[in-house]
Copies of this chain bind each other. A is one copy, B any other.
Amino acid sequence: MIKELTVDLGERSYPIYIGEGLLENIASYFEKHGISKGSPLLIVTDGQVGPHYLEGVLERLGTAGYQAASYTVTAGEKSKSLAVLEDVIGAALEAGLDRKSAVVALGGGVVGDLAGFVAASYMRGVRFIQIPTTILAHDSSVGGKVAVNHPLAKNIIGAFHQPEMVLYDTSTLQSLPDREVRGGLSEMIKHGLIWDADFAYWCEDNAERLVGLDPEALQYGLYKGCSVKAAVVSQDERENDLRAILNLGHTIGHALEAVAGYGELTHGEAIAIGMVGAARLSVKLGHPEEIHTITKRIFEKFGLPVRIPAHLDTDAIMRAMMHDKKFGEGRMVYIVPVAIGKVEINKQMDPKLVREIVDELKQED
């Protein structure tokens, strides 16, 4: 059974299909959505995902009469650069992509962000299709934010470019390393914590099935996670206000990623710590104690970290935070839980309070 949901954005609305083995019918989805057979496609993937799925995708599309070229980038964040963008656009030109062509992202968040910005900027914008192959990508594949990095800042060069559709084949998740699975589930839990208490508790109750990649639990969890993201994005496509709530845990999280050495903390691990920190901040501001105890309990059930490694320097973490682009005109914007399943956007957060939280998070027991 394939689950389907719609990201409601007026004329830019698009469907997300989630299910076991749906890539076997990839061509029928392309046909259903009017992807042109008269113009070449470009599949962008990376060195980890490509070897597993690229050949099958090319073969199925070819059999159905699509001309699909492919370009494989090195796996990892380093491929989100303008230099790699130029290479991928070179491949698009050589394959003869025109204005009716589509660019397809086959991979995780890095490939989605890179290929999405290719689609947004090639000939000033062509169609874009997402085929996420990680759990984490359930987050980045909804909402149309695409970007590459600058040597001085992450995700600073990009666009809002909505895909035509998202094809989520849960069978591609079975080969994910355990640490990536848990990291991806961290964003899924976030979607419960900001919007849907029932879903947050469902995650807690189904931690073992999710970590064990049970197909049914995965399909439901991704469906609910994508639904929350879609609901938020539908109300605020270009991040003017509401969309900021998706940054729960990300202020501290991004700073930890910047300060910790490469590979010490995954994105999902860093934001798990950040969400526990936000819950602590919430209690400090007078909200119920249980926001902190329950948040922490959920992440612990998933084997995700809840404390800042003691050797990371508080000053360095604070400095990294002040460079984060979520601070408009010098003020500190912070997403604070007010209950499980509900958050508020605090635009006047005192950096001193945040510093206290960072220190406390090092001693979190």
Dominant secondary structure of chain A at its interface with chain B? mixed
Which of these, B121, B147, B238, B329, contacts A157 with CB under 8 Å?
Answer: B121
User: Contact between B100 and A329 (Cβ–Cβ < 8 Å)?
Assistant: yes
24 example contacts (A-B, Cβ-Cβ < 8 A) are as follows A36-B329, A82-B85, A85-B157, A86-B150, A86-B157, A89-B156, A89-B157, A90-B150, A90-B151, A90-B152, A93-B150, A93-B153, A93-B156, A98-B328, A98-B329, A99-B328, A100-B329, A121-B121, A123-B158, A123-B325, A124-B147, A124-B159, A125-B159, A159-B159
Name the residue on B nearest A99 (C-beta). Answer: B328
- Residue A122 lies at the interface, judged by CB distance under 8 Å to chain B: yes
Residues of B near A250 (CB, < 8 A) are: none
Tell me whether A145 and B157 are in contact (CB under 8 A): no
Q: How large is the interface on A (under 10, 10 to 19, 20 to 34, 35 or more residues)?
A: 35 or more
- Write the nearest CB–CB distance from A332 to chain B, whole angstroms: 13
This chain's copy number in the assembly = 2
- Chain A residues within CB distance 8 Å of chain B: 36, 38-39, 82-83, 85-86, 89-90, 93-94, 98-100, 120-125, 145, 147, 150-153, 156-160, 238, 325, 327-329
Q: Which listed residue (B98, B121, B152) contacts A93, Cβ 8 A?
A: B152
CB atoms of A39 and B329 under 8 A apart:
yes
Residues of B contacting A145 with CB < 8 Å? Answer: 124
Q: Is the CB of A123 within 8 A of B90?
A: no
With A82-B83, A98-B327, A159-B159 already in contact, 20 other A-B pairs whose C-beta atoms are closer than 8 Å? A38-B329, A82-B85, A85-B157, A86-B151, A86-B157, A90-B150, A90-B151, A93-B156, A100-B328, A100-B329, A121-B157, A121-B159, A122-B156, A123-B158, A123-B325, A124-B145, A124-B147, A124-B160, A125-B160, A125-B238
Decide if B157 touches A122 in the complex (CB within 8 Å).
Answer: yes
A329 to B85, CA, bound (A): 24
